[in-house]
Amino acid sequence: MKYTTQMDAAKKGIITKQMKEVAFEENLDVEIIREKLSKGTVVIPANKNHISLIGKGVGDGLKTKINVNLGVSEDTCNIDTEVEKAKYAINLKADAIMDLSTFGNTGEFRKKLVNVSPVMLGTVPVYDAVAQFGKTIKDISVDDFFSIVETHAKDGIDFLTIHAGLNRTSIERVQKNERLTHIVSRGGSVLYQWMLENDKENPFYENYDRLLEICKKHDVTLSLGDGLRPGSLKDATDAPQIQELIILGELTKEAWKENVQVMIEGPGHVPLNEIAANMQIQKKLCHGAPFYVLGPIVTDIAPGYDHITSAIGGAIAATHGADFLCYVTPAEHLRLPTVEDVKDGIIATRIAAHAADIAKGIKGAINWDNRMSKARGDLNWNKMFELAINPEKAIKYRESDKPKDKEVCTMCGELCAIKRSKKA
């Protein structure tokens, strides 16, 4: 039996190769994966043209996944460096790579990513429209926007961030509700400017059927972007953010009718006490579609440490329903991240995701911790290093301050509680 998308296959009762891969990774029956795919509560971003892809699932009851943002800019434009960052991120067990390039030969970089990456890939086509056509924002045509979307789909990109919910109604909410940081989404700001200068509706909202046809043709998952996400704690959970979310929920149902998979992008800066409510509102308004969040960052005063502020928010968000965490590096708000920044961001986000999986009761999540605890109880240092989320750093710290008694560490020495209690 033929099928057009993973969702179409799931509705027809067909088990795909990617569903089997997800079931194996999650240690779940493949029928559970198929059923959740058919309902839209799980997605498997898997473009038909991404041949090297190993299927990963995002959504209800699955492990929390993490995404890594990369890409070249006008000030820092080295494709080879970004490819190396991507390979490094994959080795550090990132579940997805997102190309946010805004300058140069973006097509070359995108194709290299597709060739080397077994993990799912995402892009924001609006960025590329600005980069490739060399036009003012106002002069970019509707066909220009859609030609870039088609190109990215043909190239093998698995999920596309499209800010289709930023329509005229959403803009009214922005204009009537003063914000401290206005619009902080790059894609959202481009479309906002285009709409105001042309006095027209968002082309992706007005021509949503055209967008769905492209996605259906290549089996691209729509990541419905949050063009009005809060860029400060003060703007969190405000009327513009919620208005856009309502529209995204409506667009989700339209996509499902065409068997197009959907994720919803969520907020970036949210106070701790509002995170749980944000997750619950999203799941309610968007009918249980998987939720993809940037952080969220829980305080605005820590430039240079935003991998920590976002990991705090990410752990809470995932505990309360977020399915996909976009990493934040120490360079957030400051510059393009280096390889070391990428590493710090990935490790922090993986810790957040794993902590949330334990809290959610994801099958087998706590087993890793139990094995580490057993190694600590046995004072088995080699096993501890083997199980560490970042063995390199653990070994470096241990080697930097060696104890006289190799069985213990320099924190406690002869007063090591584990060694003393065992001896007693």
Domain boundary among 317, 344, 360: 360
In a domain, 341, yes or no: yes
- Report how many domains make up the chain: 2
How many Å separate Cα 83 from the centre of its chain? 18
Residues of each annotated binding site for Zn(2+): 269, 333
In a domain, 44, yes or no: yes
Buried b (16+ CB within 10 A) or exposed e, 24-53: eebebebebbbebbbbbbbbbbbbbebeeb
Residues 116, 259 share a domain: yes
Domain boundary among 330, 360, 390: 360
Greater confidence (257 vs 414) lies with 257
Residues 125, 63 share a domain: yes
Two tokens, residue 155: 């190239």
β-bridge partners, 162: 224
The pLDDT of residue 423 is: 82
CB 200 within 8 A of CB 222: no
The pLDDT of residue 75 is: 72
pLDDT band at 245 (very low <50, low <70, confident <90, very high): very high
Residues 268, 386 share a domain: no
Residues 256, 240 share a domain: yes
The pLDDT of residue 424 is: 81
In a domain, 1, yes or no: no
Residues 174, 122 share a domain: yes
Residues of each annotated binding site: 69, 98, 127, 163, 185-187, 226-229, 265, 269, 292, 333, 409, 412, 416
Rounded Cα gap, residues 394 and 401, in angstroms? 12
The pLDDT of residue 299 is: 98
Count of CA atoms in the C-beta half-sphere (13 A) of 164: 28
Residues of each annotated binding site for [4Fe-4S] cluster: 409, 412, 416
Greater confidence (402 vs 349) lies with 349
In a domain, 218, yes or no: yes
Q: Where are the beta strands (DSSP E) in 77-132?
A: 96-99, 120-123
Residues 393, 353 share a domain: no
Q: Which domain holds residue 232?
A: 6-360
Residues 288, 371 share a domain: no
> Which CATH number characterizes residue 158's domain?
3.20.20.540
The pLDDT of residue 414 is: 86
Domain boundary among 334, 360, 386: 360
pLDDT band at 325 (very low <50, low <70, confident <90, very high): very high
pLDDT tens digits, one per residue of 57-68: 999 999 999 999
In a domain, 28, yes or no: yes
The pLDDT of residue 48 is: 97
Angle between helices 79-91 and 106-116 (to 10 degrees): 30
Q: What is the mean pLDDT of the chain?
A: 96
Residues 192, 166 share a domain: yes
Span 9-18, average pLDDT: 98
Residues of each annotated binding site for substrate: 69, 98, 127, 163, 185-187, 226-229, 265, 292
The pLDDT of residue 71 is: 86
Residues 374, 344 share a domain: no
DSSP code per residue over 25-60: HHT--HHHHHHHHHHTSEE----TT-TT-----EET
CB 286 within 8 A of CB 249: yes
pLDDT band at 178 (very low <50, low <70, confident <90, very high): very high
Say whether pLDDT at 133 is over 80. Answer: yes
Residues 372, 354 share a domain: no
Span 295-303, average pLDDT: 97
In a domain, 281, yes or no: yes
Q: Where are the beta strands (DSSP E) in 31-179?
A: 42-43, 58-59, 65-70, 96-99, 120-123, 159-162
Low-confidence winner among 133-137, 200-204, 385-389 (lowest mean pLDDT): 133-137
Residues 203, 120 share a domain: yes
In a domain, 155, yes or no: yes
pLDDT tens digits, one per residue of 96-129: 999 998 888 899 889 999 999 999 999 999 999 9
Residues 334, 399 share a domain: no
The pLDDT of residue 168 is: 97
In a domain, 145, yes or no: yes
CB 59 within 8 A of CB 65: no
The pLDDT of residue 269 is: 98
Say whether pLDDT at 74 is over 80. Answer: no
